[in-house]
Structure 1
Amino acid sequence: MTERPAFAYVTYIESTPEKVWYALTDPDLTAAYWGHSNVSDWRTGSPWEHRRTDGSGLADVVGLVVESAPPRRLVTTWAEPGEEPPGGPSTVTFGIEAYGGIVRLTVTHENLADEAERAAAAGGWAAVLSNLKTLLETGSPLPEEPWHMPSS
């Protein structure tokens, strides 16, 4: 069996594990820096949705909560709504580690379909996590949605 692509991103945020956890799981806060609301009760086995904030209520990503250990670790499956992709859904792991007055947030996105999906994940996570970091450290997200910035 061939190993499928994965992507990992690490950022350091002046915050607490509790605030980072809240920022990842609160629908209103995720809407502020992600452009989507992450909606779930965040219990292991529960469904979650990445819902548009345009009022349509549509979810662009859905999955299950695989592991929930607030405020240190959250693991979810990640797939488009509808049929399960060949090879199963991808998995996203958020690792939250405190160190003094900062947090190391490690996001690992595994079981990606191919290199194109890995490249898309790399660009998407860099933009979203930069916006999350800015929001937690300044109280406001970036003035422009970074995922809309043209690549050079």
Structure 2
Amino acid sequence: MADKPTSVYVLYVRGTPEQVWDALTDAGLTAAYWGHSNVSDWRPGSRWEHVRTDGSGVADVVGTVVESGRPTRLVTTWADPADEAAADRHSRVTFDITPHADIVRLTVTHEDLADEAEREQAAAGWAAVLSNLKTLLETGAPLPQDPWNVPAGQ
């Protein structure tokens, strides 16, 4: 199989690995900065869902927890619910959480993307979501507007 595109995003957050882990896995916290609740028991082999916060119960992304090492590493598969049965259409997201004194380096690697267009979309999405995560953890509130709604080129 040919190499598939990968997006890597690195940011530094004032906080602890446990705070960053919780921001990625706690349904209430993800709802606050992502517009979706990440729902799972976070055990390897378990299903996870990225559920809209509008009360519809619709999951826009689903997957499986591949690795779960609180508070330093989380690996999941990532798929459109319509593609859930087609393993070759799943991508993989790895969250590596590395502490250093009073800060944390969070590296998000989204690999096995379908093509360059999907890689660009993932890169833009992760930049917006992780900016909001960082702001929430460092200030106690997410950004005042959803960053993924900022039009491209502005």
Residue 88 of structure 1 deviates from its aligned partner by 3.4
RMSD: 0.9
Deviations for 1:47-96, whole angstroms, at most 9, x for unmatched residues?
00000000000000000000000000000000000234573300000000
Q: 2:32 aligns to what SS in structure 1?
A: helix
State the partner residue of 2:43: 43
State the partner residue of 2:129: 128
State the partner residue of 1:96: 97
Structure 1 Cα separation of the partners of residues 88 and 47 of structure 2: 20
Structure 2 Cα separation of the partners of residues 30 and 86 of structure 1: 26
State the partner residue of 1:73: 73
* Residues paired across the two proteins, number: 152
Residue 151 of structure 1 deviates from its aligned partner by 0.7
State the partner residue of 1:8: 8
Structure 1 Cα separation of the partners of residues 89 and 70 of structure 2: 26
State the partner residue of 1:111: 112
Residue 120 of structure 1 deviates from its aligned partner by 0.3
What 5-or-longer segments of structure 2 have no aligned partner? Answer: none
Q: 1:82 aligns to what SS in structure 2?
A: helix
Aligned residue type for 2:121: A
What 5-or-longer segments of structure 1 have no aligned partner? Answer: none
Aligned residue type for 1:6: T
State the partner residue of 1:62: 62
Residue 139 of structure 1 deviates from its aligned partner by 0.2
TM-score (norm 1): 0.98
Aligned residue type for 2:63: G
Moved over 4 A (4+): none
Structure 1 Cα separation of the partners of residues 27 and 89 of structure 2: 26
Residue 143 of structure 1 deviates from its aligned partner by 0.3
Q: Percent identity?
A: 68
Aligned residue type for 1:2: A
